[in-house]
A and B are shown apart, each in its own frame.
Chain A
Amino acid sequence: MSNTEIETAKKAEPKAVDNRFKYLDRALAKHQFRGDALIEVLHTAQELFGFLSQDLLTYISKSLKLPPSKVYGVATFYHFFSLKPKGEHTVTVCMGTACYVKGAGELLAAAEHQCKCKAGETTADGKVSIQSARCVGSCGIAPVVVYDNEVAPVVTPEGITSRLQTWLEAAS
């Protein structure tokens, strides 16, 4: 029977700091330190560390025997990878076509207004990062907003505002 969802949720939990490089090394070894596993390794690194720091990129570049500029080029090409730390929470407004025709633009505007920062940025207090997604593939329940890892269906501007309010007011 299905435990996949639970496993997925578990993975999102932050790992103990000390073990992160051990996990990364394991991933590197699993791919036999092959250069063509760069994207897979970056995925793992970002999952472990939250973002890809210079040190991390240097480490990966050395381990996979790739020129640093190439690693940097790949890390900056794909939108999934972030070279800057993210906020405590992430709100992702889906801007796919189905969501867009159902008013996702207003949702994003509401979030940006409330957080006083643009999509792709993090609030000054580091609490919330706003992102826009190209399509999360849940078009049947548009417009969709992803609060951290939870997909919320048929969201209204009021809905996103009140959720963000709780995040912004929460003590860190």
Chain B
Amino acid sequence: MTIDELYEIGQNFRKQLEGFSAEIHVCCSGGCFSTGGLALKELFEKACAARNISADVRIISTGCIGLCGAGPLVRLFPSETLYVKVQREDVERIVDEHIVGKRVLTELAYPADAPFFAKQQQIALKNMGRIDPESIDDYIAHGGYEALAKAITYYTQDGVILEVRSSGLRGRGGAGYPTGLKWSIVRKVKSTQKYVVCNADEGDPGAFMDRAMIEGNPHAILEGMAIAGYAVGATQGYVYVRGEYPLAIERLKKAIKQAERTQMLGNRIFDSDFNFRVDLRIGAGAFVCGEETALMASIEGRRGQPRPRPPYPSQSGLWGMPTLLNNVETFANIPPIILNGGKWFAGIGTEKSKGTKVFALAGRIANTGLIEVPMGMPLREIIFDIGGGIPDGGEFKAAQTGGPSGGYIPMQHLDIPVDYESLAQVGSIMGSGGLIVVDKTSCMVDLARFFMEFCMDESCGKCIPCRVGTVQLFKILDRMTTGAATVQDLHTLEELCDMVKDTSLCGLGQTAPNPVVSTLHFFRREYDEHILKHECNAGVCEMPALDEPAPVAAAVPAVPAVSAAETVPAAEAPAGKKNGGSKKKST
């Protein structure tokens, strides 16, 4: 395969597309798949066949278009009209009116200038939802694998790394370690064998960016990995995907086969000396495997238990060899950086956080879905402009980022710019991109309990602070939500948070207390009300009235019925503390 041959594939495919007068893209990813996307596609096919226009209309299922809450989504080209909440009975009408009659059905169409799309800037998600994820030709027709060709034929290995370094790209798994720096460390280590690993073990509850990216454009990740392999001198790559994502696994398998057939993977890629293969490893349901050393243990077929670092994977990783670990979104950003240059990428975002970030909007927000925004966009803009605010007249209470390792951002910090440093300053983390909005119907103590239960279940059991500490933390939080907690419990809770954070072996334990620390800082009132008054403002926790005997009466000292503010000292501010620690995801 030469570059000219690559261009030819693209040209041929584009020529093929020109033969169609219209295209119907039916979103068949995650949300839309569950709301009947695939059935819609079949209906469109039938409707077109019935009108004898099948040869004129290209109907494909695409990856996530983004506006998941308004699914199933159908996008029509060339007008780029997006139809939302398309029902089976709408199909005939759309074909008749739009395809045949060339009239847009305004009542079904989503306004093109709506802030949900207008305010986004898509780099990692660029081709997602616009191409057929199961066709390598479609990807190539959209500029796919050009970056790999450019990297191999135009750049030296160091040249690629220099470009990535100058882009300022930081790991999108959460901790934000500079990607270029990581690459240059792996490049410098001398070894007969090196590995490139893509961390697609997206375990944060409430996050679905990686899933959507793999399902929607798997080749972009393979291309990013191949470029990384070339840069650091690796010949073997692994993608570690969650077992919970069967479609993502199937799509990746297919993409790897296609890439091998087209010689984008394999031996002598673009007639160079560079050989690179990618294999899949499928997770089996363990959140801790998002931690890099646990992930590598799992790839080696062992229990996914982390080990102390150093040595870091870049020195001694898979089977003791230097290993480059990056997250899905990080790899997806690589091809555009190589094509457009590091400088271009560095021109987007803030001083310390370059480029864009993909977020999965979920929870009490009108436009649930997948978005990509430039770094530094104020949180308010993301939630209220792009996200459309809180549905059903609800009132914003907090935004959660970073999943079980992250924290809450309350009303008073709504205007912070979303970048690594600003989020850390308010006690949260960027995380891998889950952004969950909660309103007044959610109780913060209950949510802290929820995340602690998660960490407790997902603790691998190797180190004592995490194995036992998360259980003890959970027990206290559980008491608080059932009206059995004491003021002493609050003290022990804080002691435990510090201890588990400082002494746990890996990122899971080190960050497990974050949701508690964060809610204690911003919503301490709620804790006080639960303990002292047995009151839950959100109406979530059921607690016996105070004059009733408490469930474990002996453990509860008589509490005078005074206001929370008088009995408990004002919240100590942990805001300055770095809650980030070493975030568990590889970057």
Chain A residues within 8 Å of B, Cβ to Cβ: 1-2, 4-5, 7-8, 34-40, 42-43, 70, 73-74, 77-81, 95-102, 133-142, 144, 151-153
Q: How far is the CA of A99 from the CA of B211 in the complex (A)?
A: 17
Of chain A, the residue at the smallest CB distance from B370 is A140
**Known contacts A96-B206, A98-B205, A136 near B243 by CB under 8 Å:** no
Q: How far is the CA of A146 from the CA of B71 in the complex (A)?
A: 18
Cβ of B493 < 8 Å from any Cβ of A?
Answer: no
Question: Quick check: B28 and A101 within 8 Å, CB to CB?
Answer: no
Question: Quick check: B369 and A79 within 8 Å, CB to CB?
Answer: no
Nearest-CB distance from B66 to chain A (Å)?
A: 9
Residues of B within 8 A of A100 (CB): 205, 450
Partner of A102, one of B245, B251, B363: B363
Question: Quick check: A141 and B442 within 8 Å, CB to CB?
Answer: no
Cβ of B285 < 8 Å from any Cβ of A?
Answer: yes
Nearest-CB distance from B516 to chain A (Å)?
A: 15
Cβ of B88 < 8 Å from any Cβ of A?
Answer: no
Of chain A, the residue at the smallest CB distance from B303 is A77
Residues of A within 8 A of B287 (CB): 134
Cβ of B247 < 8 Å from any Cβ of A?
Answer: yes
Question: Quick check: A139 and B368 within 8 Å, CB to CB?
Answer: yes
Question: Quick check: A151 and B33 within 8 Å, CB to CB?
Answer: yes
**Known contacts A95-B205, A134-B203, A140-B69, A8 near B246 by CB under 8 Å:** yes
Of chain B, the residue at the smallest CB distance from A138 is B30
Contact sample, A vs B, 12 pairs, CB 8 Å cutoff: A1-B60, A37-B301, A39-B281, A39-B284, A77-B305, A97-B205, A100-B205, A137-B244, A139-B362, A140-B30, A140-B69, A140-B362
Residues of B within 8 A of A81 (CB): 284-285
Cβ of B261 < 8 Å from any Cβ of A?
Answer: no
Nearest-CB distance from A28 to chain B (Å)?
A: 13
Of chain A, the residue at the smallest CB distance from B438 is A101
Question: Quick check: B284 and A97 within 8 Å, CB to CB?
Answer: no
Of chain A, the residue at the smallest CB distance from B68 is A140
Residues of B within 8 A of A101 (CB): 363-364, 436, 438, 441-442, 447
Q: Which 6 A-B residue pairs are closest in the complex by CB-CB distance? A: A140-B68, A78-B284, A96-B205, A79-B285, A98-B362, A97-B206
* Residues 59-74 of chain B, each 1 if its beta carbon lies under 8 Å from chain A, else 0: 0110000001101000
**Known contacts A97-B206, A97-B434, A137 near B282 by CB under 8 Å:** no
Question: Quick check: A40 and B282 within 8 Å, CB to CB?
Answer: yes
Cβ of B376 < 8 Å from any Cβ of A?
Answer: no
Q: How far is the CA of A1 from the CA of B41 in the complex (A)?
A: 11
Cβ of B208 < 8 Å from any Cβ of A?
Answer: yes
Nearest-CB distance from A88 to chain B (Å)?
A: 21
Q: How far is the CA of A96 from the CA of B436 in the complex (A)?
A: 11
* Residues 22-64 of chain B, each 1 if its beta carbon lies under 8 Å from chain A, else 0: 0000001011011100100000000000000000000011000
Question: Quick check: B364 and A39 within 8 Å, CB to CB?
Answer: no
Residues of A within 8 A of B204 (CB): 97, 135
Nearest-CB distance from A158 to chain B (Å)?
A: 19
Question: Quick check: B205 and A39 within 8 Å, CB to CB?
Answer: no
Partner of A80, one of B33, B284, B364, B403: B284
Question: Quick check: B244 and A136 within 8 Å, CB to CB?
Answer: yes
Question: Quick check: B243 and A35 within 8 Å, CB to CB?
Answer: no
Of chain B, the residue at the smallest CB distance from A79 is B285
Question: Quick check: A80 and B436 within 8 Å, CB to CB?
Answer: no
Question: Quick check: B301 and A74 within 8 Å, CB to CB?
Answer: yes
Question: Quick check: A43 and B250 within 8 Å, CB to CB?
Answer: no
Q: How far is the CA of A70 from the CA of B193 in the complex (A)?
A: 27
Number of A-B residue pairs with CB-CB distance less than 8 Å in the complex they form: 166
Cβ of B298 < 8 Å from any Cβ of A?
Answer: yes
Question: Quick check: A97 and B68 within 8 Å, CB to CB?
Answer: no
**Known contacts A97-B436, A135-B205, A142 near B362 by CB under 8 Å:** yes
* Residues 292-328 of chain B, each 1 if its beta carbon lies under 8 Å from chain A, else 0: 0000001111111100000000000000000000000
Partner of B31, one of A2, A43, A140: A140
Residues of A within 8 A of B301 (CB): 34-40, 74
Question: Quick check: B250 and A36 within 8 Å, CB to CB?
Answer: no
Residues of B within 8 A of A73 (CB): 303
Sample of 15 more A-B contacts, CB < 8 Å, known A70-B302, A78-B283 = A1-B61, A4-B134, A39-B284, A43-B282, A77-B286, A77-B305, A97-B204, A101-B363, A133-B244, A134-B454, A137-B211, A138-B30, A141-B35, A141-B68, A152-B34
**Known contacts A98-B362, A100-B450, A140-B369, A39 near B30 by CB under 8 Å:** no
**Known contacts A37-B301, A101-B438, A8 near B31 by CB under 8 Å:** no
Question: Quick check: B251 and A141 within 8 Å, CB to CB?
Answer: no
Partner of B285, one of A80, A137, A144: A80
Q: How far is the CA of A133 from the CA of B203 in the complex (A)?
A: 11
Question: Quick check: B30 and A43 within 8 Å, CB to CB?
Answer: no
Q: How far is the CA of A96 from the CA of B450 in the complex (A)?
A: 10
Partner of A138, one of B34, B363, B403, B454: B34
**Known contacts A97-B363, A102-B363, A135 near B30 by CB under 8 Å:** no
Of chain B, the residue at the smallest CB distance from A11 is B246
Cβ of B137 < 8 Å from any Cβ of A?
Answer: no
Nearest-CB distance from B382 to chain A (Å)?
A: 16
Of chain B, the residue at the smallest CB distance from A75 is B284
Of chain B, the residue at the smallest CB distance from A7 is B250
Of chain A, the residue at the smallest CB distance from B38 is A5
Question: Quick check: B243 and A80 within 8 Å, CB to CB?
Answer: yes
Of chain A, the residue at the smallest CB distance from B298 is A39
Cβ of B400 < 8 Å from any Cβ of A?
Answer: yes
Partner of A141, one of B34, B363, B403, B434: B34
Question: Quick check: A139 and B208 within 8 Å, CB to CB?
Answer: yes
Residues of A within 8 A of B71 (CB): 140-141
Residues of B within 8 A of A37 (CB): 301
Of chain B, the residue at the smallest CB distance from A78 is B284
**Known contacts A37-B301, A74-B301, A74-B303, A97 near B285 by CB under 8 Å:** no
Q: How far is the CA of A99 from the CA of B206 in the complex (A)?
A: 8
Q: How far is the CA of A107 from the CA of B296 in the complex (A)?
A: 36
Q: How far is the CA of A136 from the CA of B360 in the complex (A)?
A: 13
Q: How far is the CA of A144 from the CA of B71 in the complex (A)?
A: 14
Question: Quick check: B203 and A78 within 8 Å, CB to CB?
Answer: no
Nearest-CB distance from B184 to chain A (Å)?
A: 29
Cβ of B526 < 8 Å from any Cβ of A?
Answer: no
Residues of A within 8 A of B250 (CB): 4, 7-8
Question: Quick check: A138 and B304 within 8 Å, CB to CB?
Answer: no
